[in-house]
Structure 1
Amino acid sequence: MYLTQCLHRALQQFPDRPMTVCGERVRTTRESVDRVARLAAALQDLGVRPGDRIGILALNSDRVHEAFFATWWSAAAAQPMNVRWSPAELAHAVQDSGTELLLVDDAFAPLVPDLRERCPGLRTVVHCGDGPTPDGLLAFEDLVARSAPVPDLRAGGEDLALLLYTGGTTGVPKGVAIAHRGLLSALLGSMLALGTVETGGTTLVPAPLFHVAALCSWYAQTVMGGTQVFLPAFTPAGFLDAVQRHRATTCILVPTMVQLICDQEDVERYDLSSLRSITYGGASSSDALLERAMKALPGAAFSQGYGMTETGVLTVLGREEHRVGGPRLRSAGRATPTVELAVVDPAGELLPAGGVGEVVTRGDHVMLGYWRRPQETAESLRDGWMHTGDAGYLDEDGYLYLVDRLKDMIISGGENVYSAEVENALAAHPAVASCAVIGVPDPQWGERVHAIVVLRPGHTATADELRTHTRTLIAGYKTPRTIEFTDTLPMSAAGKILKRRLRDTTR
């Protein structure tokens, strides 16, 4: 199993079908695959070797599509970077992964001098934007134009394909190493369970491609031979216009996007009849929001996916359950055909239906491990199972219900925020004595990042001051939206902060 196989099939069967649309730029399968082979040649001329990590720091575009495939064509691994990270977080990912070649677009080219100063091993930066190429960067289009196509090296199986950095409970992002077979196994399982991507369809790509769910949605349409329409960033009006103009048939959204679409005042004036399926995930969605979405988009069937970066999609709640409604809408669905899922007690013993414990999974879809973190890998991959850190139970028919998170992770607007990262940033302020960060319900974001702070005696600080401080260390979406000050934090006998008590008393 190798990730470039879909290009060879598409070239054989649909050579003149549009493969990518980006703004006014449309490229056929023949053109796109030729450009991939030429870009791969250029990357190899620049010293890229099998197993190397190639960083991608850019908004969604057809060139990002080509960069992924050219990386795999060269038997290297793609490292798409979170475009919302701070410079310090980006530099950590570049340094930790050993990335020596980075692609940036117009939005992130200004960060290159700082990244080069922080990352001495970063030897080559390629500009993949539409504007003029800045000094010291190589032009993407020049590399493609001057290079002759090279054969596909057809890396696959256990070879590293993706390195995705995700928030860590220790407060430092860690790399999730994903093999070709891992991504393909997760992808094929979700495709079989969802049944949303059709041959020759058009997938709208509004979610950023550093998310594994967005990657699977994008890749699935390529597998089925169709067209990808890339949105650099999501806006409700831009989304609705793109559906209407390009006759998109499917897409993946996070609930915050769904809500913004529903809130768009003129949503009824758009022709959305082509949109036949919408998959949502990344956070829970309320019954009220689902009802609004189904009314605003009556022609689209809704499905939900649950998973994590380390595993891809694990469970799917399909169209039929959404149509019927009822209590199963509160479930995360059932395991996909390529996933084995179970719930275990603290001793690792399987629990019967209804027993609440930790959700675990095993199969080819599971990550290779955490990049250069053997201890954390061993903690997560135990006894043949990947331990998700989520608590839940299975009913008699195999539907999974999530009841809590064992890890202190907050999902805000579809983004994972680990409380330890935010707490570390807050604690670096000289006025902060101690703090705790929790997720609290929020009507727009699903959860918002909320901080409870104890100040040092004789020191003062405002909520705005602390938010400004944290933005220098972590991404803006991780910064607490609300901050409250207190004299003490509830502690257990072992000296641990009782976050459950804080959640119970904070709204």
Structure 2
Amino acid sequence: MSNALPESPREVLALSAMRFPDHDALHIPLSACQHYSSQEITLSYRELESAIAQATEIWRQTGVTGRVALMLENRPEFFIQWLALNALGISVIPINHEMPDAEIPYYLEHGEAVAVLTLDSHCARLIGVIDALKLSIPVISPDQVSTLDFGSVPATPVATGGLNCECALLYTSGSTGKPKGCLLNNDYFLQQGIWYQNLGGHIALREGDERLLTPLPLSHMNAMSVSTMAMFMTGGCLIQLDRFHPGTWWQSLRESRATAIHYLGVLPAILLALPEEPLDDFSTQIRFGFGAGVNPAHHERFEKRFGFPLIEAWAMTECGAGGAIIASNEPRHVGHCCFGQPIDAVEWQLVDEQKKPVNKGAPGELRVRARGSDPKKGYFSGYLKNPEATAEAWEDGWLNTGDVVVELEDGNLAFVDRRKNIIRRSGENISALEIEAALGDHPAIKSAVATAVPDEMRGDEVALCVILKPTFEGSLDTARAIQDIALEKLVYFKAPGWILFAEALPVTAANKPKRADIKQYAKTCVTKGDAFDLRAYKTRKKLA
């Protein structure tokens, strides 16, 4: 690589490997890898660079073209294989291994995957999924990449394709049913790192010194692009957990020497529920937590008990760093759903349902764009095979977020609600329409509407309001049967945690659900105890 500025995540890693060869680049605590390793895993920048270079050459010899799906969990293999493919200008489709078999085909078919790279433990399962589709997509583990043959082999080992080359296809639950594929180019990832390292305030990264721990999945933009690029761009160490383990969380932080964490709102809620310990104060070790969705009632309590600030942020996959907003400076208005003031590089406005700007202090939908000649700088490149949805998202030249926000007196912004049919549970965006479509043919259901109800632990929980067919009884057994089908068709967190039965639901003159009224109705039913609580059955499946 020349002295030119990096133009891809792969080149970012190579640059840091030259500057910080012996610094830790990636660390997996034993608590997060004991199911596949007898000891903790640490790779220096030199070691990670070498592993990526070797994997790149193996992939180059295959002549790979097209997108490669990755089901590699939160393991070192994900970073090695992703960046090796990125070096060749190949985009990846990260897939959550917790998805049920019924959900996976859509990602492979819609994303036009040419291969699925996974762990040995998932190979048989994925081969079965693909055989049922009658597709000819090879399923291989990292050790089997050399067996692939896509045709002609490129002569140049490194050809990342530049800033505009597609880097990843991330799927996000939209308001219209099936997840949309967000096209993310190399510049999207670079801008995440640039944005993070320039934040300052409570989040002032120290080059070569930070150790950032995250339990979030690499199939999401937060872990794949935000925390990863922040560390790799500044020579810090990314501490990647397999997921959030309350029982070993603080032990992992201590033993990994973490200086910062990433969180979602459910994490502080669970940690606050644990018994208090003499060693709860982390003020001398953890500098900040970066996240979103902390319960306002938990925010101050958490900071006082554990000794470090939780810095609330707002972003979405579509906006990347180009429209991200974070409360990294005071006043943060702790306990008021405040996520800070937009930086100068972000243009923003709050509008009513007719897209007219609202008065200061009045709630309105947040719209953002990058200031300057390129309003889409740092944003997604569009939705794959869906130009209509892309145009709708960018209506009037703004990214229309669907999030209702209010501007406080001092110019800070605070979250109010969501205008779209989206349920935000433990940081996961869940489409109400996707749940309704998955259960639409259930023999007991005449009609059903999914909505969000408040949840002390997870922010929102999925509630399903059901009108039954005449021959079915509104019983616990019926509710469980409906949830069981949801768990077969959808990843566990999308299944309804509450089910309530109704004779009728509010509709418009056009006979469409009055979703705002139904949302309030569901909240009332849950509060009064007129709904079946099935949250305890929403658990991760144990995979081999």
TM-score (norm: length of structure 1): 0.89
What is the aligned partner in structure 2 of residue 436 from structure 1? 449
Q: Which residue of 2 aligns with 1:449?
A: 462
Give 1:167-182 correspondences, 5 Å limit. 167-182=173-188
One-letter amino acid matched to 1:321:
P
8 Å contact from structure 2 (residues 213, 238) kept in 1? yes
Judge conservation of contact 1:3–1:156 (CA < 8 Å) in 2: no
Matched, 1:356 2:363: yes
- The residue identity in structure 2 corresponding to 1:38 is Q
8 Å contact 2:192–2:230 — kept in the other structure?
A: no
Q: 1:302–1:318: 8 Å Cα contact kept in structure 2?
A: no
Alignment of 1:78-477 (within 5 A): 78-106=92-120, 108-121=122-135, 123-128=137-142, 138=144, 151-193=157-199, 195-200=203-208, 201-215=210-224, 216-265=226-275, 267-269=277-279, 272=282, 273-281=284-292, 284-298=293-307, 300-313=308-321, 314-318=324-328, 320-322=330-332, 325=333, 329-363=336-370, 364-395=377-408, 397-460=410-473, 462-477=478-493
Cα distance in structure 1, aligned partners of 2:179 and 2:59: 27
For 2:111 and 2:424, how far apart are their aligned partners in 1?
25
Q: Which moved more, 1:479-488 or 1:331-340?
A: 331-340
SS in 1 for 2:500: strand
CA contact (8 A) 1:213 1:312 kept: no
8 A contact 1:435–1:453 mirrored in 2: yes
Cα separation, 2, equivalents of 1:487 and 1:249:
54
Contact 2:196–2:230 at 8 Å: present in 1 too?
no
Compute the displacement of 1:397 (Å): 4.2
Measured at CA, do residues 101 and 161 of structure 1 come closer, stay the same or move farther in structure 2, by a change above 3 Å? same
Displacement after TM superposition at 1:115 (Å): 2.5
Letter aligned with residue 274 of structure 2: Q
Residue deviations 1:77-134 (CA, integer Å, cap 9, x gap): 1211133322222110011001112221255334212232245555333325xxxx7x
Instruction: State how far apart, in whole Å, the 1-side matches of 2:124 and 2:272 are.
Output: 35
Q: Give me the CA root mean square deviation.
A: 2.6
Q: Residues 250, 141 of structure 1: CA spacing in aligned structure 2 closer, same or farther, 3 A cutoff? A: farther
Which residue, out of 83, 99, 104, partners 1:69?
Answer: 83
Q: 1:157 to 1:450 in 2, by over 3 A?
A: same
Q: Give the Cα separation in 1 of the matches to 2:69 and 2:199.
A: 31
Distance 1:205 1:479 in 2: 25
Q: Which position in structure 2 is the counterpart of 1:146?
A: none
Change (3 A) 1:416 1:107: farther
CA distance in 1, matches of 2:196, 2:359: 25
**Alpha-carbon deviations, 1:5-38, whole Å to 9, x = none?**
3212212211111212234222211111111111
CA contact (8 A) 1:392 1:401 kept: yes
Query: What residue in structure 2 maps to residue 9 of structure 1?
Result: 15
Cα distance between partner residues in 2 of 1:354 and 1:18: 46
Offset of residue 488 of structure 1: 0.8
Instruction: Give the 3 Å change call, closer, same or farther, for CA 499–348 of structure 1 in structure 2.
Output: closer
Partner of 2:74: 60
| Aligned-pair CA distance for 1:346 | 4.1
Deviation, 1:423, is 1.0
Q: Which runs of 5+ in 2 are unaligned?
A: 1-6, 31-39, 150-154, 371-376, 524-544
CA distance in 2, matches of 1:32, 1:254: 28
SS at match of 1:429: coil
Structure 2: which amino acid aligns with 1:438?
Answer: T
Kindly indicate whether the alpha-carbon contact (under 8 Å) linking 2:174 and 2:422 is maintained by their aligned counterparts in 1. Answer: no
Tell me if structure 2 keeps the 8 A contact 1:423–1:435. Answer: yes
> Is this contact kept in 1: 2:61–2:146, CA < 8 A?
no
Q: Determine the C-alpha separation between the residues in 1 that align with 2:417 and 2:241.
A: 33
Aligned mates of 1:336, 1:213 — CA distance in 2 = 19
Displacement of 1:152: 2.9
Q: Distance in 2 between matches of 1:110 and 1:198?
A: 44
Say if 2:62 and 2:146, in contact at 8 Å, map to a contact too. Answer: no
Whether the 8 Å CA contact 1:205–1:218 is kept in 2: the answer is no
SS in 1 for 2:291: strand
8 Å CA contact retained: 2:265, 2:426: yes
Q: Is the 8 A contact 1:74 1:152 kept in 2?
A: yes
Q: Structure 1: where are the runs of 5+ without partners? A: 144-148
Change (3 A) 1:228 1:142: farther
Higher alpha-carbon deviation: 205-214 or 338-347: 338-347
> 1:246-292 deviations in whole A, cap 9, x for unaligned?
111112110111222222336544684422111121xx322321123
Worse overlay, 207-216 or 474-483? 207-216
Shift of 1:422: 0.9
Q: Deviations over 1:124-166 (max 9, x none)?
A: 33325xxxx7xxxx279999xxxxx974323332211121011
Letter aligned with residue 404 of structure 1:
D
Q: For 1:260, what is the secondary structure of its paired residue?
A: helix
Q: CA deviation at 1:478?
A: 0.6
Does the 8 A contact of 1:182 with 1:366 survive in 2? yes
SS, match of residue 339 in structure 2: coil
Paired-residue identity, %: 25
Out of 41, 44, 61, which is 2:57 matched to? 41
Off by >6 Å, runs of 4+ in structure 1: 139-143
SS at match of 1:506: helix
The Cα offsets for residues 366-405 of structure 1, whole Å up to 9 and x where unpaired, read as 2111011111111112232111122223345432233221
2:197–2:234 Cα contact (<8 Å) kept: no
Count of paired positions: 487
Query: 3-state SS of the aligned residue for 2:449?
Result: strand
- TM-score, normalised relative to structure 2: 0.83
SS of 2:97's equivalent? coil
* CA positional deviation for 1:341: 1.9
